[in-house]
Amino acid sequence: MTTPFPFTAVVGQDDLRLALLLNAVSPAVGGVLVRGEKGTAKSTAVRALSALMPEVDVVSECRFSCDPGSPDPGCPDGPHEPGGFASRPARMVELPVGASEDRLVGALDIERALSEGVKAFEPGLLADAHRGILYVDEVNLLHDHLVDLLLDAAAMGASYVEREGVSVRHAARFLLVGTMNPEEGELRPQLLDRFGLTVEVAASREPEQRVEVVRRRLAYDDDPAGFAARWAEEEADVRARIVAAKKLLPSVRLGDDALRQIAATCAAFEVDGMRADIVMARTATALAAWAGRTEVLAEDVRQAALLALPHRRRRNPFDAPGLDEDKLDETLEEFSGDDDPDPDPDPDPDSGPDGPGGGGGQPAPEDGPQDGPQGGDQEARPEAEQDGQPQPQPQPQPSGVGDQSAARSSEPFRTKVLSVPGLGEGAAGRRSRARTEHGRTTGARRPKGSLTKLHLAATVQAAAPHQRARGRSGPGLVVRRDDLRQATREGREGNLVLFVVDASGSMAARQRMSAVKGAVLSLLLDAYQRRDKVGLVTFRGSGADVALPPTSSVDAAAARLESLPTGGRTPLSAGLLRAHDVLRVERLRDPARRPLVVVVTDGRATGGPEPVALAGRAARLFAAEGVASVVVDCESGPVRLGLAGQLAGELGGTAVTLDELRADSIAGLVKDVQGTSRRAA
């Protein structure tokens, strides 16, 4: 067995270690989500925590780790007789990103359930993790329905398996830890809210601390057992402290003052729902127990807010989690429980807000104009600067191809649904029709491998003609394995939405480019909601660039879009060819995910010999491969050349204007896109 890296040997990452320890003391906190860049000891710290967890007593021969002191009355292996228990270390169970639903929650033997009425249940990972740790690395890449099942079990403390009217329930209480790299995509806000605490981690920028990280890691790699032995005493101390805090936890008092601070803090930060209040209360109680106190203090409430609220402040998909600590301190001070509005019984009249000690250390202005930086220049200074905001300086215009600084995008809007025609088999999502594990039942087939979704009617129909030959004599149906039928279901898949954006000089007018960016941002928001991968190709000047390779991080695409400069000629053919190369490579990596190409341009093509003919030949490559495509026509003005429509015809797709892209405009957009693409294919 591999010796884990000692928890106490992890350098820095104080918030991460504290959040994990608080969940070890009180699993009711609700787990922790660890967000951060790659190589920041996220997985190392989580795996190291398992060695600190106290041993658990379990009923002998129980596959669900029932507590002998209070066994689960509904345990599938029960009822349990008194006595007969064993002690073992708490387990740490890892949930792979590609796990199936049956692997997570367990599976029923459908054949025995139908023919014998026996609930033959094979436990899943939730049962293995009961009274231990369940660790999900890259939780943001886990399928949404698995995340829902996982978080429901964590919230209810039980797992339910339902198969065609046969149900099994077992206890599933565990410390849930998820890690993720935000660059690879975000969790939905409603799923973020289900994690009790969230911690942001980053690599230290201090050279000495980085040196110590490398030194300890090399020492561990050379001799894991010897390195762990050198930290054994510190590990034992932390383990003993966890045990002591768990015993003290029921005695910790959460007073009315602390409760008011918790409620006021959640209200001040406009947190939705009541889960944040409950999590903060449990976290503050665990903090007090960890400190060896039986009373929750304001400092516990503050620390609980820093761990429990930042991820719940994420209102929009492109918002970064965070918390204004100054506002937090003001709220806690306002509801500190001190009934005396003036803490100083004998105030100095010269020390008020207008005196030597007030006004943030700035001398009070006197009547009349003054000279100097705080005086009579007030009227000459720009209005924004007088309000404390620096006035933005005009950006210099670079020479060369006529580059212009990036324009800000306009407000995003709800877009029409763009989808890929046909029936796919890609990753679960919400855009195009696909054969999926979840959705409406459309038919039945023989199972390939293990049966996951039984089609009951088809199974009975397959078994019925053979009952006499099989010697059926009782009321039960004699079912053989080759009678079983798998339900085929149709749902929705996520696609690869590849944006090809014209950033040339013809698009450079400020108001026009702002509208274009707003449209692309709207489509990115739609891609986020529909669980798509996105990519961004831009073309301007003399060539095209892959501004963002295909990724699940829509946030990254939005950030690249905001900083996109414009100017120069319009190498349309280069942009299309670069997009074609991106799709070719991505098809090798993820062949089941179907692409949707969204070209954002006015259709002009300039630069090089025969630019229009070259663009047409490049576009016909997409049409020949049946790639679904949409051209967002950015041409404006009373006179339109219709070049974007011609490009759409070459692509085998359809063209829509910026106005038509809005959800409240034309009704037949999806039908038009699909119909045109299908004819081209």
**pLDDT average, residue stretch 455-481:** 83
Task: Check if 275 is active-site.
Answer: yes
Task: Return the higher-pLDDT residue of 154 and 177.
Answer: 177
Mean pLDDT score of the chain, rounded to an integer?
A: 81
Q: Which of 677, 521, 526, 496 is nearest to 587 (CA)?
A: 496
pLDDT > 70 in the chain, percent: 82
- pLDDT higher than threshold 70 for residue 545: yes
For 485, list phi and psi in degrees, rounded to 5: -125, 135
Enumerate domains of the chain plus CATH numbers.
Answer: 7-201 (3.40.50.300), 251-314+324-335 (1.10.8.80), 434-493 (no CATH), 496-661 (3.40.50.410)
Q: Is residue 591 pLDDT above 60, yes or no?
A: yes
pLDDT over 50 at 671, yes or no = no
Burial of 98 from C-beta contacts in 10 A (0-12 / 13-18 / 19+) = exposed
**pTM confidence score:** 0.68
Cβ atoms of 150 and 105 closer than 8 Å: no
Q: Which residues are registered as beta bridge partners of 440?
A: 490
The answer, yes or no, to whether residue 278 has pLDDT greater than 80, is: yes
> What does the DSSP 8-state code read for residue 390?
P
Contact 174, 129 (CB under 8 A): yes
Contact yes or no for 121/76 (Cβ under 8 A): yes
pLDDT tens by residue, 646-666: 999 999 999 998 888 887 654
pLDDT band, very low/low/confident/very high, at 392 (cuts 50, 70, 90): very low
Residue with tokens 């199936």: 100
Spacing of C-alpha 9 from chain mean position: 29
pLDDT at 45 over 60: yes
Burial tier of 144 (Cβ tally within 10 Å: 0-12, 13-18, 19+): middle
pLDDT confidence band for 426 (50 / 70 / 90):
confident
Contacts of 328 (CB under 8 A, 6+ apart): 265, 269, 302, 305, 306
Q: Which of 275, 435, 560, 587 is catalytic?
A: 275
Q: Which two tokens stand for residue 661?
A: 């892209």
Res 364: pLDDT: 40
Comparing 129 with 429, the larger pLDDT belongs to: 129
Q: What percent of the chain has pLDDT over 90?
A: 30
CA distances from 491 to 439, 441, 456, 488, 668 (A): 4, 9, 20, 10, 21
Cα dihedral 566/572/574/575 (nearest 10)? 70
CB of 562 within 8 A of CB of 518? no
Residue 634 has pLDDT above 50, yes or no: yes
